[in-house]
Structure formats: C-alpha cells, structure tokens
Chain A
Amino acid sequence: MARAGQSSPAAAAPGANQPFLYAHYSADQLREALRRMHLIRQFEEGAEQSYMRGFIHGTMHLSIGQEATAVGTCLPLTIEDQITSTHRGHGHSIAKGADVKRMFAEFFGKTTGYCGGRGGSMHIADVSVGNLGANGIVGGGIPIAVGAALSARRLKTGKVVVSFFGDGANNEGAFHEALNMASIWKLPVVFVCENNGYGMSTSTARSTAVANIADRAAAYAMPGVIVDGNSVGEVTEATHAAVARARAGDGPTLIEAKTYRYRGHSKSDRNRYRSKEEIEDWMSNRDPIVRFEAELKEFGVIDDAGIAAIREAVRAEIEAGIAFAKDSPAPEIADLERHVYTEPA
C-alpha cells in the first residue's frame, strides 16, 4: 500500500506477511471471502457460457481477474453499509451478498431476477444488502453515492457508502464534482477506483494526465491510497482504514486498486489494444484467487481439501442458479409499463 504521489510497490509475492487481514478477520470470515471470490469467478464463467449458448442476450462486462478488489473492499462493510457499482459490477454485487440465483435470473430476463427482468447485467442491484445498483453510465454512480452518504449523515444511520468506479470514470466530470462535494461536506463515503488499466481500449497512460488516479485525491484534500488490487489483504486494509475514517466523520478517501481484467471490455472486444503476453502475465503470475489461496494456506486458514470443497460447493451453487434462471417465468408483456412510476397504494 502506498500513499498517492509515491511510487507503487511491486505486487506482493504470494505468502508475503500481511498481518492486518489475519489479525482482524476470523478464519471463517477469510474462508467466506475466498468462497465469494470463487463465486464471482464461476458466476461470470457461467454467465459467459450461458451467453455463448444464447440464453442471455445483450452484452456483459466481465470482471474476471478483479475479484480481490470487490471482495477486499466489501469485507470491512456491514450489510447496512451501501455501495454503488458499475457496468462491470457482478463482483461487487456478489461481494456485497447478492444471491447468484436471482442474478442469473436477471441475466436471463426473468421475473425472479433482481430487477424483474427490467435491468439485466448492467443494472443488477440488491438494495436489501446495500447494493444500490450497477450503472450503465460511466461515473453515474459516484454522485449518487455521495447522496446516499448525505442521507446517512442526515438520518444518522451510521452507514458508510462505497462508490466503485473504473479508471475510465476518473475522467468524467461527475468524478470531479462528486469528490469535491464529498470532501467539503465531509461525508461518510469511500471512493474505490478499480484501475484495470483500460477504459474500454484506451489505456490510462493515454487518457489520464496523472500517473496514479489516487494522485487526484490531493485536489480534493482527501487521502489518496494506492493498493495492489489483486491482493485481498492490501485492499481490505486500505478500505478498513477509509471506512473507519468515514464512520468517524472525518470524510472521504480515494482508494486506487490497480488490477486487471482478463476478458475484453464487453462481448464485442477483439483485444487489439493489448498484447497476449500482457494478459498471460497477469493470469499466470498475479491471479488474485491463486495468490489468496496460497496465503490462506500459509497462514493455516485452509488446506487443499478445504479449497477443493469450496470450489465444488460453488460449482453446485452456480449450476443450481442457472437451472433456477432457466426454469423461472418470463415477464408478462402486459406488465411492460410496470415500475415506470410508483403504483398508488
């Protein structure tokens, strides 16, 4: 972890000593974190296969490779705390506690989906566990998170709000306006930028004037923190501190988690803007799940049999989720206009 303005340390080697995570979270919590990382990855693989087979239409934005950021960020949050998410939001949704059955059902456009088939992949939300929604507009959720933080303060709920966004969003005007307001009003919000290196095809080097997005925190007089986004421990430690600061009334923090997406931007991506070698390097040498498993084993939290059991349980959950989605009813055409407005009680 590094403060903005300093150079980022090299990615921690597997098994590096990261006492914070192991000092603050129980073995059960850490195994659950690993389970959720597997759930995210297998969910997205299942969604991708369902898309290929024609069960899902439209498009989707997969976050495979970014699981540590989603899970590490949500680990310090309570179920009451809230998040706003992005077009690449499946991981955030699962990390915050969504049920993959209802996510698959939404992808399949069914009434049992989180949005009754009205939203699809880009609008997954589960307000009951604090996910205020993915968002199809880059940067769209950032000011909304600040508004949710304003509610938390006015209504004295004690909630903290995390706004996830990507590197692309840091060049939207909404980013600037929202971070400034959160800072002047000292609102309980944490801005988590998942920097996967590319806004669609355009690299951060080509799109962004500063070397690190966290450097921009200085312009809003808030702490800017850079973490290895593929390290659950680093992400969790930074978020934990930012959440504590927010809950104490000391205002927002900008966290930049440097990570990588293995898949293309969306289903139309031909991957012409990056090399095969670059993708393979991240997949082979910095995979967040492989690293976390190695660490958990080293700290004695889990063994190979335990990992295999998690993978198998997740596989069964994904299979059941897809079956549930397939078997669920489609919306009635007559209900097309339902939910445009609130129906009178």
Chain B
Amino acid sequence: MMDAAVRELTYAQAIQEAMALAMEADERVLLMGEDIGVYGGAFQVTGDLIERFGPERVMDTPISELGGAGVAVGAAVTGLRPIFEFQFSDFAALAMEQIVNQAAKMRYMLGGAVSVPLVMRFPAGSGTGAAAQHSQSLEAWLGHVPGLKVIQPATPYDAKGMLLAAVADPDPVMIFEHKLLYKMKGPVPEGHYTVPIGTAEIRREGRDLTIVATSLMVHKALEAATALAAEGIDVEVVDLRTIRPMDKPTVVASVRKTSRLMCVYEGVKTLGVGAEVSAMVVESEAFDYLDAPIVRLGGAETPIPYNPELEKAAVPQVPGIIAAARDLVRGVR
C-alpha cells in the first residue's frame, strides 16, 4: 500500500509554519526583528504572518540589534517567549553584549532564580554574493558560551521540529539557518512535532568513513557520498544538528564503526566546530579505533570574498570533499 503523499515544504516555509503553530498554541510567543512585518523578513521567512497575528506579535524593531536583543532578553525573563530574528547572522556582532553577557549568563548569575526562554534566529552562510559582512558562519562563536544552546537544522523537517523544540525550551536557543537552505524542499508533517536539541542524526549509513557535517555541508557531504559509493567507498554522514550541547555518543559510535573521521563545516576552519568534534573523538574511546588522522574541511582563513569563484573557493565544495575522502580512505596522506 502506498503511503499518503508526503507534503513538501521549503525550509523557509517550515520555519514559518513552526512559528505560526507556536504563536497559535501560546499567547506569550511573539516575533521580533527588523522588517519582519509587512516586508515579510529579508528572506521572507515571516512572510505574511503579520496578517494573521498582527503587529503586536510580529513586531518590527528599529535597526537596533543590541537594543532589540536586549528587549527580547528582558521580555523572556519576565514572561514572554520571544523569537528574535537577526536579518543576517553577521549582525550578531552588534548584539553580542546582550547574547553573551546577559542572555547566556542571567540564570547562572542569579543562582537559578530566572530562566531565559529566548529563541534567536540567524540567517547564515555564504553563496549569495553578499560578501564579507553578510556571509559568515559564526555559530562557533556562540557555541563557545555556556548557557546558550546552538543548533543548525539542515532539513525542512528539522527546521520546523527544532524550532518548536527551541520555543518550548526554558533556555536561550540560537538557531543558525543557512540562507541557501531556505528554498530547499523536503517532507514536513503537518501539526506539532519536535526534534530534540542535542541529538545528531545519521543521514546515510556507511562502513569506511564518518563525515560529521553541519547545515548546508550535510547536503554536500551526501552528494559526495553518492559519488564515492560509485568508487566503492562507503561513507557514513552524520548531521550534527546541535553544536551545543554536542551529541557525543552518536559521533563516537559512528567513528568506532568506520575508524575514520572527516569534519565538514562552513565556518572558518581554525578553532571551529570541526576542531571540537575532532577533540571530542580523540578524547573518547573511539581514539583507539582510528585508522588514520582526522581530516577537517572548513572555511578558508579569509573573509568571504565577493567574486563568485573566490566565494566558492572559500568554503568546502563537493569535489573537494570527494577528493579528501578518497585520500583519507585510501591512505594517501
């Protein structure tokens, strides 16, 4: 018997649906951000939600990232559940004070007297020709801060389920959404469901090599894995999904199985997510199972350039993943 046709939504539509469900279910949920009202958001993620929920719950803020983030923190501590959209993740730099010094620490500093149920959404990543100040992948910055949870859903299904998990979470959750994923389509069930924060997902099972990837790089890794399968190289792709707290058991179990690890992520390679994944593995029992050095493919040590060919060269691409995986599995290093 055929399954009922699975409904497909884009990643952006999945986020919008999650926000609408959260607002329908809970009067305390509200959206804040720059141009998220009648404009619909810089990437049309909020779209027409203002028509359903009105300007009091789909609040345009002035261009005031620091103050806006602080208002969201204050609202979260006093009973609301704000979902705050940054227009670009790069603008987090303008608001780091409130994110890092206030939201992340308030519960701890106050000895557990408050919680900060705040969700922040960060459109991130390169590939849009927007150059150095609108293309960064800064998730590792926030992943370094105790008190925050940091997630990077890679599929429409996870974008909806993890956002609903984030809204229900009592602590601040930072969501990094790759801009090139917004138009990607995938199956998304109707109604409310959650995907737990802190769990990785094995997207493809394999025997020869584990690739731990994040966000858009999950799809590039899967594409590379398909090509490598034709050469007889069987790649396991782990979608990390959450960078704080990281799902150590899933990653370690995968490396124990395959004995090889490659990390693929778009943020700058040095001191990035792959460094943490690598360290987590070599500190674990999986160290004894490693048959080869760990390989990291991360962003180049440069700001994101404008020229399209330079821009592509600044972050991992499928041919590079294939070549590196081939070398790693065949011991050419």
Q: Does residue B41 face the partner (Cβ distance < 8 Å to A)?
A: no
- Of B64, B73, B79, the residue contacting A181 (CB under 8 A) is B64
Known: A150-B71, A151-B75. A339 touches B108 (CB 8 A): yes
A144, B77: Cβ atoms under 8 Å?
yes
Contact B68 A152 (CB under 8 A): no
Contact call B78/A152, Cβ cutoff below 8 A: yes
Instruction: Say yes or no: is B25 at the interface (Cβ < 8 Å to chain A).
Output: no
Q: Across the interface, do B110 and A143 meet the contact criterion of CB distance under 8 Å?
A: no
Nearest B residue to A127 via CB reads B113
Whether B76 sits at the interface, judged by CB under 8 Å, is yes
- Asked if A133 is an interface residue, CB under 8 A from chain B, the answer is yes
- Give per-residue flags for A98-133: 1 if the beta carbon is below 8 A from chain B beta carbons, else 0: 000000000000000111111100010101000011
Contact across chains for B80 and A181 when beta carbons are under 8 A apart: no
Mask of B42-83 contacts with A, CB within 8 angstroms, 1/0: 000000000000001000011010111111111111111010
Contacting B at CB under 8 A, from A156-178, are 157, 173-174, 176-178
Besides A147-B78, A149-B74, A154-B75, 12 more A-B contacts (Cβ < 8 Å) are A116-B112, A140-B102, A143-B98, A146-B67, A147-B73, A154-B56, A173-B66, A174-B70, A177-B68, A178-B70, A339-B107, A341-B107
> CB within 8 Å of A: which residues of B?
28, 30, 56, 61-62, 64, 66-80, 82, 97-98, 101-102, 106-115, 146-147, 149, 170-171
Q: List 9 A-B contacts (CB under 8 A).
A: A115-B109, A123-B110, A148-B74, A151-B74, A154-B75, A174-B66, A174-B97, A174-B98, A340-B146
Q: How large is the interface on A (under 10, 10 to 19, 20 to 34, 35 or more residues)?
A: 35 or more
In the complex the two chains form, is B64's CB within 8 Å of A177's CB? yes
Contacts of B106 in A (CB 8 A): 133
Q: Are the C-beta atoms of B75 and A147 separated by less than 8 Å? A: yes
| A211: interface (CB < 8 Å) | no
| Chain B residue nearest in CB terms to A140 | B102
Min CB–CB distance B136 → chain A (angstroms)? 21
Binding site for B on A (CB under 8 A): 82, 84, 113-119, 123, 125, 127, 132-133, 135-137, 140, 142-152, 154-155, 157, 173-174, 176-178, 180-181, 184, 338-342
> Is there an interface contact between A340 and B108, defined as CB atoms closer than 8 Å?
yes
The listed residue (B82, B102, B107) touching A144 by CB distance below 8 A is B102
